[in-house]
Structure 1
Amino acid sequence: MGTRPAPYQVVADAFRQAIAEGAWAPGHRLPSRAKLGEEYGVGENVIRRAQELLITEGLLEGRPGAGTYVRERQERLTMTRFPALGHPSAPLAPEGVASWEASSIAKVPAPDAVATRLAITPGEHTVRTAYEFLDSARRPLMIATSWEPMAITGTTAVVLPDGGPLAGRSVVDRMAYLGIEVVRADERTRPVHLDREQGHLLGAAAGSLATLIERTYYDSGNRPVETADLLIPADRWTIDYRLHLTTGQPPH
């Protein structure tokens, strides 16, 4: 006698069938979890787990504040690393990004890992900025969080990346306004699983695979002036690295 499937798996199978048969077409907004729970005779937690499973499989997508939808067929997007450092539209460089939103908070104590990347003392004040990158339908494509030492920008007009005379401009442009030349960006990538909050922001299931890019900008004196975490859902993006080589470089 075989093991009976869990209730959320039974509900997930019913959802798959509704999508496969066209009863739920691409773009269809699912009823509330309470209503689906009544229809299938289960609790809302079972409905949530079924939805999260299908989000992981790419059949559904969550839209923060708007509900859960049958996912439109999407082509993979391409992100080329690196864009030109001084390019004014660098935040919008990734393919498919139509707009972005930012929210900055000053005097945020630097967590230990961030302090290490910025070569400052843990707890030292930073400006933390959260970014959301959206497509033309205002669906989330990726998110990022950056930190800048307030020792560099704290008494200037460009202390907040989303305010002041250079609001929305790149780190390179804002640092140039202060007479600081940004000459290098180091990046480290690693696979991560989205936590519940990250999944909510990206319309993805908690536990979904993503690529984390830890990027740090350096000035001409090798001082870190900004560091950022870019969180990119693995099922949506291909990341290309474009390397400019010069004669005489050894093979790697």
Structure 2
Amino acid sequence: MPREAPYLHIADDLRRRVRAGEWVAGERLPSRAQLAAEYGVGRNITQRAMERLIIEGILEGRAGSGTFVRAPRERLRMVRSRHREARGGSPFRADMLEQGRRGTWDSRSQARVPAPEGIAHRLAISPGEPCVRTNYEFLADGQPVQLSISWEPMAITDGSPIVLPEMGPLAGAGVVERMRTIGVNIDVAVEVPRPGRAVQEEANLLGITVGDPLIRIERTYYDVDGRPVETADIIVPDQRWEIAYEIPIDQPDI
């Protein structure tokens, strides 16, 4: 059997020492050089060990300051609910309002973007067909909460007042309400959540560390005829938010 890599042994011991309270939340650990001397290994070994604990969320690196024990963060609940869609308006804003927070977002839309193959498959269109792509950065009380990239086929919205989701009279209204105004009635949303890890750009936008756990949600809206009319990739930092799905149960007629 191959021997376990040396950095894993050091990561295990550092994890044990943190949990034993040798270093408390917010406290800086010894430098990589100091730890390398203590463990009798090269600096690259202690660096890999500390990077592993950063990925696990136990430590955090601060540019120019060193490596610290990460303070536990409050993990809030984000509810995905059909009722929020049915009420109209932005489901995100409604969710934040119920938590006493002000939900806002920044967005950037681009029209006539050729649909990549994966997006085309989700929208049941041919690759290369023009879409409107909108990048969102969602905020709660000014702090980053989630990211999203939305795709809408221009064959559905072109020439209408809602072709750009965040411009015109229905800016900020949400996909369901916007589509309803042009006669497209959305009947169902399908969401597929998957675990992931933050890459550099995502970490920068969300204010987290590269490698932090994420929840990636692939969402697609379908109209009453089963046609996909919008699809989005939603990214939520797992250490700050947990996702809960509210599933209504139909009651029998009495």
Q: Normalising by the residue count of structure 2, what TM-score does the alignment of the two structures yield? A: 0.71
Matched, 1:131 2:136: yes
Identify the match of residue 171 of structure 1 among 169, 175, 183: 175
SS in 2 for 1:190: strand
SS in 2 for 1:148: strand
Q: Structure 1 CA distance, aligned partners of 2:221 and 2:120?
A: 14
Give 1:88's aligned amino acid. Answer: G
Equivalent residue number for residue 232 of structure 1: 236
CA contact under 8 A between 2:199 and 2:211: conserved in structure 1?
Answer: yes
Q: 181-190 or 96-105, which moves further after superposition?
A: 96-105
Identify the match of residue 109 of structure 1 among 93, 106, 114: 114
Cα offset for 1:84? 2.5
Matched, 1:219 2:218: no
CA contact under 8 A between 2:55 and 2:210: conserved in structure 1?
Answer: no
Q: 88-97 or 186-195, which moves further after superposition?
A: 88-97
Q: Structure 2 CA distance, aligned partners of 1:215 and 1:89?
A: 15
Cα offset for 1:167? 1.0
CA contact under 8 A between 1:147 and 1:228: conserved in structure 2?
Answer: yes
Distance 1:22 1:113, change over 3 A: closer
SS in 2 for 1:172: helix
Distance 1:85 1:21, change over 3 A: closer
Equivalent residue number for residue 181 of structure 1: 185
What is the RMSD computed on CA atoms of the aligned residues? 4.0
- Structure 2 unaligned residues grouped into runs of 5+: 33-45
Cα offset for 1:206? 2.4
Among all aligned residue pairs of Structure 1 and Structure 2, give the percentage whose two residues are the same amino acid. 40
Cα offset for 1:132? 0.9
- Structure 1 unaligned residues grouped into runs of 5+: 25-35, 38-45, 63-67
Identify the match of residue 145 of structure 2 among 132, 135, 141: 141
Cα offset for 1:89? 2.9
CA contact under 8 A between 2:90 and 2:172: conserved in structure 1?
Answer: no
Which of the pair has more CA radius of gyration? 2
